[in-house]
Amino acid sequence: MPLWNPDPTFYPSARLAMQAPAERHAFVSALNPKQKGSADAICVVDVAADSPTYGTVVGRVEMPNEGDEVHHFGWNACSSALCPYAPHPHVERRYLLVPGLRSSRLHVIDTKPDPRKPKIVKVIEPETVASRAGYSRLHTVHCAPDGIYVDRGPQQLAYDFAWHLGYDTLLTSEWGTPNMVENGLNPELLVGGKYGHSLHVWDLRKRKHLQALDLGAEQQMVLELRPAHDPTKAYGFVGVVVSIKDLSASIWVWHLKNGAWAIKKVIEIPPEPADASKLPPALQPFKAVPPLVTDIELSLDDKFLYVSCWGTGELRQYDVSDPFNPRLAGTVRMGGIVSHAPHAKGGELNGGPQMVEVSRDGRRVYLTNSLYASWDAQFYPEGIRGWMAKVDANQEGGISVDPEFFVPFEGERPHQVRLEGGDASSDSYCYP
């Protein structure tokens, strides 16, 4: 009887995944901001330093329709397939599930046999999504050991989700309804504290809502969730875009305490004073640039947290070996609303570090600079010029921009990055 051999990109633990071969390709969502006449795409970037096409786009697949706004996407399967209570040894990390945030359409893209020639093999139309799931504006895809379903419960706003499989616990975060985000940030709603400011805790086994952890209405837009990769650790990090009290951004830790889940602010990043004439209209009254933390990422060893400040153009690296007492370990700048910090190959940049993806070994950090079309226009009214860059990370702490890696996206804006074989945000593990 033949034996099943699990996908070689699956690893029982994050510790073992860190020993995996380095990624050779990155898959990058590329928005066409025109929305009319051209479609979005998934681009393939060569990230193998020994390749003659290193740092260039070597493949792409265009969506069959206009106006999708491809955004966050993910793999069909990952290392969680090795979890003992729901083993799936026959599956492989092969398909990318790519939702359109504006269209509510879901694309299934096959990356094999040649990752440089991905192809669409199925499109699930928004009518089907709505009739079968009751949802629209699909935002985030994470792979899991099996299908996971929860009641809608009391949560009205949605953004990201993450889990602690060893604790049968799901965490979800909040942004806003489609009407609150699709046409840009609404200042009245922001000042009124109407955007999301809570985390929600769910029992996976019972599929029920357990707790709402309210950060306070002044903490607006509780977005990216990054749980500890070690399944024995019951904590994780979440980023908050802006405080309406002082324009600061912040990072919070959720954790299990005396049988219940709690949350605590552990990092605060202040705004930077600026000449009002150099600011977009929405920020001129404040004479300051908010950090606008729009993404965070945790290395597989749970040691370093990366924080992208899309407004100021800064990427911060924190040593979070002690998650309750982070220490700033490194910082670089690229772009920014006022600073337009340059890159050696790209010159003066706009946009700023937005989406962050970390390689499995923790040595490489990939950045892209577009957030969301309508929000890009508000904060960078001159028009986002798309780019992807790479930062090298020291295992003892400290980061530096790779001067040789810079990928311009002419007429397109890059967002989510997924690495071939997996990355720091693609997988969940069931073994420490």
**pLDDT tens column, 122-146:** 999 999 999 998 889 999 999 988 7
The CA distance from 351 to 140, in Å, is 22
Query: Which of 220, 131, 141 shows the shortest CA–CA distance to 181?
Result: 220
Paired residues of 20 in beta bridges: none
Instruction: List C-alpha distances in Å: 304 to 67, 155, 298, 365, 418.
Output: 36, 31, 6, 11, 19
CA distance 162 to 151: 16
Contacts of 291 (CB under 8 A, 6+ apart): 242, 248, 249, 269, 270, 271, 272, 309, 310, 311, 312, 314
DSSP string, 179-207: HHHTT---HHHHHTT-S--EEEEEETTTT
What are the structural domains of the chain? 14-419 (2.130.10.10)
> Which residue in the block uniquely carries the two structure tokens 């493949």?
59
Does residue 340 sit in helix, strand or coil? coil
Lookup: tokens for 24? 């050779």
Q: Above 60 in pLDDT, residue 1?
A: no
Q: What is the tens place of the pLDDT at every residue in 360-414? A: 999 999 999 999 999 999 999 999 999 999 999 999 999 999 999 999 999 999 9
Contact 12, 298 (CB under 8 A): no
Stretch 98-110: mean pLDDT? 96
Say how far residue 176 (Cα) sits from the centre of its chain: 17
Distance between CA 160 and CA 217 in Å, rounded? 19
Q: SS3 of 130, please?
A: helix
> Is residue 425 a contact partner of residue 417, using CB atoms and an 8 Å limit?
no
pTM: 0.97
